[in-house]
Amino acid sequence: MSDRVVECRGVTRVYQEESVPVHALRGVDFDIRRGEFVSLSGPSGSGKSTLLNVIGGLDRPSEGEVIVDGVTLNSLSASALADLRLHKLGFVFQAYNLIPVLSALENVEFIMQLQGVPGTERRRRAMEVLDALGIAELYDRRPGELSGGQQQRVAIARAIVTNPVLLLADEPSANLDSAATEELLKLLQRLNEERGVTIVTATHDAQVMGYSRRRVKLRDGAIVDEGVPEPA
């Protein structure tokens, strides 16, 4: 098994806006190794969210190659990509994307239900991860009854309950105050260090960068710097 979870080779993404080509990514080359906690940083329009989406198979590169856990994404059909996302990747979106009519427990169970995990096993695993994240007592509450920080924890629980190869988080602190952000980052750090979860965030938040162990800085769709950031 390769120690590289992600390999990007010459990844370019070009969009058309009113017939004008917009280069969101320009020949990106980099790898992510198992167990890393990486932040993709840069100003709005730098390409960090686009790169995260390309790595997660939510978007396809115009040129170049993306390999995730040994699988080349470029050659996969839409259904094969969906299957890879279902079984190997965990996503935490800026807007949480929780299902409003489902309880916290049911939201966490949802991905396992799609995977065909039996009900008793789903509930056991979901409650276990909710407990690990400190919100087991909120299992029966719907998203509208939870704070932003609690919703974020439910979203993380849903993302990690299937033991994904890679956890991708897009602007995870965007809807949180500084105290809730600190709690979230300590949680991600614990998942990374204790469970060995490989984490990649797209962020412009220095607080998030301070917790990552490697920062990849983008500008105008290209990597301009890499290194270990100073704690925020």
Q: What CATH number corresponds to the domain at position 42? A: 3.40.50.300
Contacts (Cβ under 8 Å, ≥6 apart) of 39 = 200, 201, 202, 203, 208, 209, 212, 214, 215, 216, 229
What is the domain range of residue 189? 4-227
Q: Three-state SS for 78?
A: helix
Q: Three-state SS for 47?
A: coil
Nearest CA-CA partner of 50 in 82, 8, 85: 8
Mean pLDDT by 10 residues, the chain (232 residues): 88 87 92 94 91 93 94 92 91 87 96 93 93 90 92 89 90 80 84 89 88 92 80 47
The answer to whether position 33 is within a domain reads yes
pLDDT at 44: 87
Cβ of 146: how many Cβ atoms within 10 Å? 18
Q: What is the pTM of this model?
A: 0.87
pLDDT at 118: 95
pLDDT at 200: 95
The answer to whether position 232 is within a domain reads no
Extract the tokens encoding 154: 């439910």
pLDDT at 229: 54
Say if residues 104 and 138 touch (Cβ distance below 8 Å): yes
pLDDT at 232: 45
pLDDT at 158: 92
How many domains would you assign to the chain? 1
Q: How far apart are CA 133 and CA 154, in angstroms?
A: 8
Q: How far apart are CA 64 and CA 76, in angstroms?
A: 14
Phi, psi of 71 (to 5 degrees): -105, 125
Residue 99 vs residues 44, 85, 96, 109: alpha-carbon distances, Å: 28, 18, 9, 11
Instruction: Fill in the DSSP letter of residue 231.
Output: P
